[in-house]
Amino acid sequence: MAYLFTSESVSEGHPDKIADQISDALIDNFLAFDPDSKVACETLVTTGQVILAGEVKSETYLDVQQITREVIHKIGYTKSEYMFDASSCGVLSAIHEQSKDINQGVDRKSKEEQGAGDQGMMFGYATNETEDYMPLALNLSHKLLQELAALRRENNEITYLRPDAKSQVTLEYDDNNKPIRIDAIVISTQHDDFADEATMLAKIERDIKEILIPRIIKNNPQYAHLFNDAINYHINPTGIFVIGGPHGDTGLTGRKIIVDTYGGKGAHGGGAFSGKDPSKVDRSAAYATRHIAKNLVAAGVANEILVQVSYAIGVAKPMGIFIDTYGSSKVSLTNGEIAKKVESIFDMRPYFIEQRLKLRNPIYSETAAYGHMGRKPETVTKTFTAPSGEQKTMDVELFTWEKLDYVDEVKKAFGL
């Protein structure tokens, strides 16, 4: 039976995403100067104010105010009328030392026996309905806002955009679980003040339909067949959206975990990612399970796969690995038998995840908006500056968990 499925995304200027980006910028700076740093940093943003809180064990010192302001400036909060401005907002830090009780369960004499930073279960998911093995509704939701942000920065075709925005895409699937068309698109975008509300709403709707959507289709021709004249658009459905960002809503780290992952497809363990160094398995094991799921689907084990792993705090070896192929398996093995093979291919102890995916590098700022999964793995050059003036320039590999570097090994293990 045909059905509808919806996913949403939020822009880099959304209050919760501002918080995520600040927390991850701090992670990157700590790791750049001390790769062994243990960090859990939470951020709260509200009208004219940023509050940082968390626990750190590190050999380096950071100017957290400067880093915070640089993030806010890069996002685009640079005007006093936004009531949240990079140059004038207050930044309060309440970061303190990591608990020794927690640290004793993580750091060990042998790095290989490094314990999990917390208990919990983490999920990874992949599907072959898109080229990057991500759910299509989420993929489109992200692309709408990435393109809208590009239009805002170009400030050419659309000149009134402000940083805060949200999107939502509803797809219709056929009886074979294949997406056949876009049923609805919701876009709410913050904007400059207009003298006339009716004129404003008409212009925003026209610009979204005549400028943004054609750019999406042009840049993503593989999805062109999904767009149609019957799409139900809801563009700024509440009307005026001048007051936005942290002045409109308080933002907190870790409040957009479904946007960060699979848009409601698969499952989520509940732990946030941003603001956590890779000793926290909430983050590292979620990346590792995505890596597993993507390589399994790409190798042809199944059309769709969910991978779960679970840990006890301070214990290196996982409690167990669970696999669900949703009945789409292409191998003559049960889900339990597939899980056993996965255990033999991928070492899921925290230290080995960190090493396999190169997670002790400053690679996290790029993850903090538009999703941690489904992104393009690439090597970039980054430069970090310490309060002392010391600079560190390094090449780092982003989104290593998106690499299809285990496909051959998976095929061999499964006889594909």
* Predicted confidence (pLDDT) per residue in 364-387, tens digit: 999 999 999 999 999 999 999 999
Residue 314 pLDDT greater than 90, yes or no: no
237 in the same domain as 282: no
Question: What pLDDT, on the 0 to 100 scale, is given for residue 58?
Answer: 93
Q: Is residue 397 part of a domain?
A: yes
pLDDT tens by residue, 48-62: 999 999 999 999 999
pTM (2 decimals)? 0.95
What does the DSSP assignment read for 203-259?
A: HHHHHIIIIIHHHHHHH-GGGGGG--TT-EEEESTTS---S-HHHHS-EETTS-HHH
Question: Of 72, 79, 55, 69, nearest to 369 (Cα)?
Answer: 72
406 in the same domain as 276: yes
237 in the same domain as 281: no
229, 244, 259: which is the final residue of a domain?
244
209 in the same domain as 144: yes
CA 228 distance to own-chain centroid: 29
Determine how many CB atoms are found less than 10 A away from the CB of residue 360.
17
231 in the same domain as 313: no
Q: Is residue 380 part of a domain?
A: yes
Query: Angle at the Cα of 53 (from 97 to 252), degrees rounded to 5?
Result: 150
244, 263, 286: which is the final residue of a domain?
244
Residue scoring higher pLDDT (279 or 104): 279
pLDDT tens by residue, 320-343: 999 999 999 999 999 999 999 999
- CA 39 to CA 25: how far, in whole Å? 12
226 in the same domain as 140: yes
Q: Is residue 262 part of a domain?
A: no
Q: Is residue 113 part of a domain?
A: no
Residues annotated within a binding site for L-methionine: 55, 98, 249, 280
Find the domain containing 308 and state its range: 120-128+271-414
* Number of independent structural domains in the chain: 2
Give, to the nearest 10 degrees, the angle between helix 407-414 and helix 281-299.
60
140 in the same domain as 168: yes
Q: Is residue 332 part of a domain?
A: yes
Residues annotated within a binding site for K(+): 42
Residue whose structure tokens are 């990435």: 146
CA 107 distance to own-chain centroid: 27
Q: Is residue 44 part of a domain?
A: no
CATH of the domain at 277: 3.30.300.10
Question: What pLDDT, on the 0 to 100 scale, is given for residue 115?
Answer: 74
- CA 34 to CA 161: how far, in whole Å? 39
- Taking the CA atoms of the chain, what radius of gyration do you get in angstroms? 22
Q: Is residue 351 part of a domain?
A: yes
The DSSP output letter for 276 is B
* Inter-CA distances, 320 with 44, 323, 349, Å: 35, 10, 11
Share of the chain above pLDDT 70, in %: 96
193, 226, 244: which is the final residue of a domain?
244
Question: What pLDDT, on the 0 to 100 scale, is given for residue 221?
Answer: 96
Question: What pLDDT, on the 0 to 100 scale, is given for residue 196?
Answer: 87
Question: What pLDDT, on the 0 to 100 scale, is given for residue 102?
Answer: 52
Structure-block tokens of residue 37: 């740093």
Average pLDDT over residues 35-45: 96
275 in the same domain as 409: yes
Long-range pairs of 85-89 with CB within 8 A, sequence gap ≥ 24: 85/48, 88/48, 89/48, 89/49, 89/50
Question: What pLDDT, on the 0 to 100 scale, is given for residue 155?
Answer: 94
Residue whose structure tokens are 């990079």: 86
Q: Residue 320 is inside which H or E element, if any? A: strand 320-324
Of 123-127, 217-221, 312-316, where does mean pLDDT reach its minimum? 312-316
311 in the same domain as 194: no
399 in the same domain as 340: yes
- CA 255 to CA 206: how far, in whole Å? 31
Residues annotated within a binding site: 14, 16, 42, 55, 98, 164-166, 249, 255-256, 272, 276, 280
Structure-block tokens of residue 194: 């207009």
Q: Is residue 87 part of a domain?
A: no
Sequence-distant (6+) residues with CB within 8 A of 329 are 301, 302, 335, 338
Residues annotated within a binding site for ATP: 14, 164-166, 249, 255-256, 272, 276
338 in the same domain as 356: yes
370 in the same domain as 302: yes
Residues annotated within a binding site for Mg(2+): 16
